[in-house]
């Protein structure tokens, strides 16, 4: 078992098994196939422990990838990975520019509007299609905000704060 204190970052979400040889259909976050092929250590959290995976093959498509791992020999085994995130060590990820971030960096950031009113915290980043969407939760409600310039004014990862426009400000 790998230590839980190791700094990992999510790189994708397994959607479902693909084929009979244990392939996984995966939506990738903030990473392309070239970067993925250079990662030596990938992990899946099985609930109570981390399982290390070795990538044997990957193919990219418009909005997903098909990944095969040495440790997943067939469709039956692949089924147990449905709806699980795939992680890598944060230190293995490429360095980012000043205005760049990984999706994991947004989780638990405080979200405020243009008047600095607290709207809650980012609890999840959804990838439903054309663009990512922030799921913001406060004590009694959830709000969805598209992760596009029209809606998101500023992302300050260091301060753990995201400023968004209100619906009235977006035309």
Tokens of 81: 């990975």
Residues of the chain with CATH 2.30.30.240: 103-165
pTM of the model: 0.70
Question: 68 pLDDT band (50/70/90 cuts)?
Answer: very high
For 2-160, strand residue ranges (E) read 8-18, 23-28, 42-45, 50-53, 55-60, 65-69, 85-89, 110-112, 118-126, 133-137, 142-146, 152-156
CA-CA-CA-CA torsion sign (31, 73, 81, 88):
negative
Give the angle subtended at the CA of 134 by the CAs of 124 and 38, to the nearest 5°. Answer: 65
Query: Looking at residues 23-49, what average pLDDT do you find?
Result: 86
Has residue 170 got a pLDDT over 60?
Answer: no
CA-CA-CA-CA torsion sign (92, 8, 51, 25):
negative
Residues of the chain with CATH 2.40.30.60: 8-92
Question: 2 pLDDT band (50/70/90 cuts)?
Answer: very low
pLDDT at 167: 66
pLDDT at 169: 54
CATH H-level superfamily of 8-92: RimM (2.40.30.60)
**Mean residue pLDDT across the chain:** 87
Rounded to 5 degrees, what are φ and ψ at 168?
A: -70, -25
Has residue 1 got a pLDDT over 50?
Answer: no
| Architecture category of domain 103-165 in CATH | Roll (2.30)
144 three-state secondary structure: strand
Task: Choose the weakest-confidence range: 2-6, 60-64, 94-98, 143-147.
Answer: 2-6
pLDDT at 4: 46
Task: Burial-class residue 110 by CB neighbours within 10 Å (0-12, 13-18, 19+).
Answer: middle
Q: Higher confidence at residue 21 or residue 167?
A: 21
């Amino acid at each position: 078992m790998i230590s839980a204190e190791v700094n990992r970052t999510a790189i994708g979400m397994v959607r479902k098994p693909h084929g009979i040889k244990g392939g996984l259909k995966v939506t990738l976050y903030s990473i392309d196939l070239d970067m993925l092929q250079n990662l030596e250590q990938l992990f899946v959290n099985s609930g109570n422990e981390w399982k290390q995976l070795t990538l044997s093959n990957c193919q990219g498509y418009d909005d997903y990838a098909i990944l095969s791992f040495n440790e997943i020999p067939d469709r039956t085994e692949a089924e147990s990975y449905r709806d699980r995130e795939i992680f890598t060590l944060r230190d293995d990820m490429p360095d980012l520019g000043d205005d760049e971030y990984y999706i994991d960096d947004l989780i638990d950031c405080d979200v405020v509007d243009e008047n600095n009113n607290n709207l809650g915290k980012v609890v999840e980043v959804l990838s439903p299609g054309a663009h990512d969407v922030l799921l913001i939760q406060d004590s009694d409600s959830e709000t969805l905000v598209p992760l596009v310039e029209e809606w998101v004014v500023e992302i300050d990862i260091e301060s753990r704060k995201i400023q968004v426009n209100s619906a009235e400000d977006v035309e």
